[in-house]
Amino acid sequence: FCPGCRALQPPGPRPDLFRLMGCDRSFHIDVQQLQRRFRSLQRAVHPDRFGQRPPKEQYYSEQHSSLINKAYQTLLNPLSRGLYLLELHGVAPAQETDCDADSVFLMEIMEINEKLAEPENKDILEEIETLIKVKQEELTKEVTAAFERDDLQEAKKLLAKMKYFANLEDKLKNKKIPS
Amino acid sequence: VAVGDAVPSQVVDHYENPRNVGSLDRNAKNVGTGLVGAPACGDVMKLQVEVDENGKIVDARFKTFGCGSAIASSSLATEWVKGKTIDEALKIKNTDIAKELCLPPVKLHCSMLAEDAIKAALADYKLKQDPNKEESEKKA
């Protein structure tokens, strides 16, 4: 907001999402603090509060609000948070095909996918859900450790693994939705 | 997955009616198995080939978990390798697959994944034929 006339200003170019949400630029974050910050920021800039303001400010408010939503979603989810952190450090996410070196891991992903593709069986689905959760927690811990010791290449590899499990989680969710 | 008008009909065809879905016996000596993954999007693809005594690929199967373009690319790949020799199959390029399926730029990596899967399957087959050779090559 402009200190003089209190009119809403546009968001700056290329904002740092961590700084925007008041978090240190690290993989480990305080989720509750992030949520509090999200709510208080939205209270200040949400378009619903700018209905009576000039069109330009209404437009800025939409931009701010979208940006804050994007920042919140990015930082809330460990995978997107990790990938964003890599991006800030100038490390591109994994692009090359995973093959021989990761065959054990890929086989595991393949097997879980195959089980998920089978006709619905509540027990198996629960088993898979637990397995995915456990793996995601493990990977999150490992990614935290990698970032803490500044091992960005290891973080990159682990985040790639997390992506496979994130996809499985989505497929599982879709399977649970009654059609 | 909702398929809109924007999706080229060839992707739809290989997606809705993929050819050669399934598995071959990975323990058979004349079967090569390629298992690859795309870390950026989390797709996994398994492609298997059965090779006869003349070095010709007589059967191929795939299982792909991923987007429609990945499924279509691997479906097409299994169609294309059948009847080819190993060397001919190794010449299949992702650009050919992408062109045939009219893949948009954002999905080009799917055809790359299929090309890598073909190569991985053939490499696995070759390794099974002569494991000792691979060992001595490694030592050299």
Task: Tell me which chain A residues have a C-beta less than 8 angstroms from the C-beta of B43.
Answer: 167
- Partner residue facing B65 (CB), from A107, A113, A160: A113
Q: Is B1 a member of any domain?
A: no
The average pLDDT across A99-128 equals: 89
How far is it, in rounded angstroms, from Cα A173 to Cα A169? 6
Residue B26 covered by a domain:
yes
pLDDT tens, position by position, B12-68: 688 788 889 999 999 999 999 999 999 999 999 999 999 999 999 999 999 999 999
Residue A174 pLDDT: 87
CA distance B9 to chain A (A): 25
What average pLDDT does this structure show over A91-115? 90
Position B137 pLDDT exceeds 60: no
Residue A78 clears pLDDT 90, i.e. is over it: yes
Residue B20 in any domain: the answer is yes
Residue of B nearest to A112 (CA): B65
CB-count burial class (<10 Å; 0-12, 13-18, 19+) for B60: buried
d(CA A1, CA A7): 6
| B71 interfacial to chain A (CB closer than 8 Å) | no
Taking the Cβ of residue A163 and every Cβ of chain B, the question of whether any pair is shorter than 8 Å is answered with yes
Q: Which CATH superfamily is domain A96-176 in?
A: HscB, C-terminal domain (1.20.1280.20)
The answer to the question of residue B59 being in a domain is yes
The burial class, CB within 10 Å (0-12 / 13-18 / 19+), for B94 is buried
- For the stretch B57-85, pLDDT in tens is 999 999 999 999 999 999 999 999 999 99
Chain B interface mutation, best of A80, A96, A97, A109, highest count of B Cβ atoms under 10 Å: A97
Q: Which helix (DSSP H) or strand (DSSP E) does residue A10 occupy?
A: none
Choose among B66, B109, B120: nearest Cβ to A99. B120
| Total H helices, total E strands in chain A | 7, 0
B132 inside domain: no
Q: Which pLDDT score, from 0 to 100, does residue B6 have?
A: 60
Compute the distance between CA of residue B117 and CA of residue B60 in angstroms, rounded to an integer.
12
- Name B35's bridge partners: B46
Domain boundaries, chain A: 17-76, 96-176
Give the pairing type, strands B57-65 and B43-51: antiparallel
Check residues B77 and A50 and name the one with the higher pLDDT.
B77
SS3 B45: strand
* Residue pairs between chains A and B whose CB atoms are closer than 8 Å: 61
Beta bridge partners of A98: B37
Q: Is B102 left (phi over 0), alpha (psi -120 to 50) or beta?
A: left
Can you give the pLDDT at residue A156?
95
Cβ of B37 within 8 Å of Cβ of A109? The answer is: yes
Query: What's residue B133's pLDDT?
Result: 57
Does the structure show a pLDDT above 70 at A35?
yes
3-state secondary structure of A139: helix
Where in the sequence is the domain holding B83, given as residue range(s)?
9-127
pLDDT, residue B12, reads 61
pLDDT: which is higher, B93 or A7? B93
Residue B96 neighbours by CB under 8 Å, 6+ apart: none
Q: SS3 sequence, B60-74?
A: EEEEEECCHHHHHHH
Is B115 part of any domain?
yes
Tell me: pLDDT of B3 over 60: no
Q: CA A114 to CA A101: how far, in whole Å?
A: 21
* Residue B47 maps to a domain: yes
SS3 category, B85: strand
Select from A114, A164, A166 the Cβ nearest to the Cβ of B37: A164
Averaged pLDDT, A22-37: 93
Amino acid occupying residue B69: S
Domain count, chain B: 1
Is the pLDDT assigned to residue B1 strictly greater than 60? no
Mean pLDDT for the stretch of residues B84-104: 95
B41–A contact, CB cutoff 8 A:
yes
Q: Cβ contact (<8 Å) for A114 and B46?
A: no
Nearest neighbour of B36 by CB, restricted to A94, A97, A163:
A97
Asked whether the predicted pLDDT for residue A105 surpasses 80, the reply is yes
CATH number of the domain residue B38 falls in: 3.90.1010.10
Identify the residue among B44, B64, B112, B113 best suited for mutation to test binding to A, counting A beta carbons within 10 A and taking the highest: B44
Q: For domain A17-76, give the CATH superfamily.
A: DnaJ domain (1.10.287.110)
Please give the biggest Cα pair distance in chain A: 64
Active site residue B110: yes
